[in-house]
């Protein structure tokens, strides 16, 4: 199977599975506990049907929209995800450049393998920094200051990760950061020489925004669970979020809001956007799917704050359903990560290109010429 044979996001997943050693593939693909929430995040879209209009004169359509004050060519965002150098030698560089080419938002994780400054120099496209709240307040303040100096467009504070979810695939494989070769996965590394040679001889794996803290602090590889459980502030609350918003002073989003009551509190502390997200099912297994929560959250705060639907998005029609349900945009991680692992920047470009085409085709078949025409009347809940 080649890149040209990939016609949907699942095809990239197949290719990524072939290319990556299993501990690395399972880090991307896996989720918490029984992975019920991860599966539900996508299947939730199937409970709702689109109602098309015909003969609507859709010769030319406009897929653009405004997200957090910047124009996006598509109602689609690339969610921040960690450790991208482990998936491909170009890491975040590949994803940021593909995002800029398509005019969509790129989110860089606190656990990125490129620095805030490198990403800022690389792309003039809309970009946000995803902040985890560390116990070390000086570290939080310095990350915020660096984002301000690098002129990031927004800060997204992830609020669903005060402890790590129980990611059993990672426990079994012994996945660490930086990835280490373990005896139990040796065969998998040996049978994927392209990845293995590139990992050993290619650009060095680093976490430039946190290296000093994560690596030098322990002097050894750590699991992601160790990072969450030792470095992050388990006591963070609404006061913490409000202080960070004030300290940042720019466009501010809360990532990981799942209830209407919390969405209301996000409005009260002055956030500009919320991401309805359960971290792609990697945290609390058994929590509702973002799409299942969209309607009640939109009823509570629609029009007062932007709503980004994050998780389970694999199709253009998933984005259209999100928009019709009241979201400003749909966002996702795995939708571009499998493609990054499969073929670097070319893979990410093909993945975004496929979703773009699906969005355009879906809009035409729905009989709408702009994303604003996707309203709740266009959905039927079964």
In 3D, which of 187, 161, 110 has the Cα closest to residue 278? Answer: 161
Is 213 labeled as catalytic in the residue annotation?
no
With CB under 6 A as the contact rule, the residue among 165, 179, 312, 347 that binds ligand FNR is 312
Does position 130 interact with ligand FNR (CB under 6 A)? The reply is: yes
Count the alpha carbons within 13 Å of 163 in the hemisphere toward its beta carbon: 5
- Tell me the pairing of strands 48-50 and 379-381: antiparallel
Q: Please, which residue, 289 or 363, has the CB nearer to ligand FNR?
A: 289
Between 142 and 161, how does the x/- string for binding to ligand FNR read (CB under 6 A)?
----------------x---
Count the neighbouring beta carbons within 10 Å of the beta carbon of residue 346: 14
Does position 310 interact with ligand FNR (CB under 6 A)? The reply is: yes
Does position 79 interact with ligand FNR (CB under 6 A)? The reply is: yes
Give the alpha-carbon dihedral of 171, 175, 177, 183, to 10 degrees.
Answer: 130
Count the alpha carbons within 13 Å of 378 in the hemisphere toward its beta carbon: 23
- Tell me the pairing of strands 306-310 and 329-332: parallel
Does position 139 interact with ligand FNR (CB under 6 A)? The reply is: no
With CB under 6 A as the contact rule, the residue among 63, 109, 140, 176 that binds ligand FNR is 109
Beta bridge partner(s), residue 157 = 131, 254
E-strand stretches of the chain: 48-50, 65-67, 70-72, 76-81, 105-108, 127-131, 154-158, 251-257, 273-276, 306-310, 329-332, 379-381
With CB under 6 A as the contact rule, the residue among 20, 28, 214, 374 that binds ligand FNR is 28
Q: Which residue is nearest to ligand FNR (CB)?
A: 333
Does position 23 interact with ligand FNR (CB under 6 A)? The reply is: no
Q: Name the minimum Å distance from CB 157 to ligand FNR.
A: 9
Q: Please, which residue, 79 or 251, has the CB nearer to ligand FNR?
A: 79
Question: Which residue ranges make up the site for ligand FNR (CB under 6 A)?
Answer: 27-28, 41, 79-82, 109, 111, 130, 158, 255, 277, 279-280, 310-313, 332-335, 337
């Amino acid at each position: 199977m080649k890149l040209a044979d990939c016609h949907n996001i699942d095809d990239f997943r197949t290719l990524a599975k072939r290319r990556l050693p299993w501990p690395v593939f399972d880090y991307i693909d896996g989720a918490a506990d029984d992975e019920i929430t991860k599966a539900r995040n996508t299947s939730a879209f199937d409970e709702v049907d689109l109602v098309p209009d015909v003969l609507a004169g859709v010769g030319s359509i406009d897929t653009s929209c405004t997200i957090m004050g910047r124009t996006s060519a598509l109602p689609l965002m690339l969610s921040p995800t960690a450790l991208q150098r482990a998936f491909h030698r170009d890491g975040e560089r590949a994803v940021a450049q593909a995002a800029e080419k398509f005019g969509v938002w790129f989110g860089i994780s606190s656990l990125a393998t490129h620095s805030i400054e490198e990403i800022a120099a690389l792309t003039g496209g809309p970009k946000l920094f995803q902040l985890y709240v560390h116990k070390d307040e000086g570290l939080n303040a310095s990350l915020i200051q660096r984002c301000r100096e690098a002129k990031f467009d927004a800060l997204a504070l992830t609020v669903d990760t005060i402890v790590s979810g129980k990611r059993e695939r990672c426990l079994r494989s012994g996945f660490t950061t930086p990835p280490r070769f373990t005896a139990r996965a040796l065969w998998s590394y040996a049978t994927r020489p392209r990845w293995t040679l590139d990992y050993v001889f290619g650009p060095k794996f680093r976490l430039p925004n946190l290296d000093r803290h994560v690596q030098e602090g322990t002097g050894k590889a750590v699991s992601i669970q160790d990072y969450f459980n030792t470095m992050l502030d388990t006591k963070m609350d609404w006061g913490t979020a409000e202080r960070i918003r004030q300290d940042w002073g720019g466009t501010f989003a809360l990532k990981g809001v799942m209830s209407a009551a919390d969405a209301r509190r996000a409005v009260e502390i002055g956030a500009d956007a919320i991401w309805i997200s359960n971290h792609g099912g990697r945290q609390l297994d058994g929590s509702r799917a973002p799409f299942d929560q969209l309607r009640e959250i939109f009823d509570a705060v629609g029009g007062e704050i932007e709503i980004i639907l994050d998780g389970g998005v694999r199709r253009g029609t998933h984005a259209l359903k999100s928009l019709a349900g009241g979201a400003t945009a749909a966002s996702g991680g795995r939708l571009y990560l499998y493609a990054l692992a499969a073929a670097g920047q070319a893979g990410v470009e093909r993945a975004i290109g496929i979703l773009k085409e699906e969005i355009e085709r879906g809009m035409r078949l729905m009989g709408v010429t702009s994303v604003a025409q996707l309203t709740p009347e266009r959905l039927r809940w079964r």
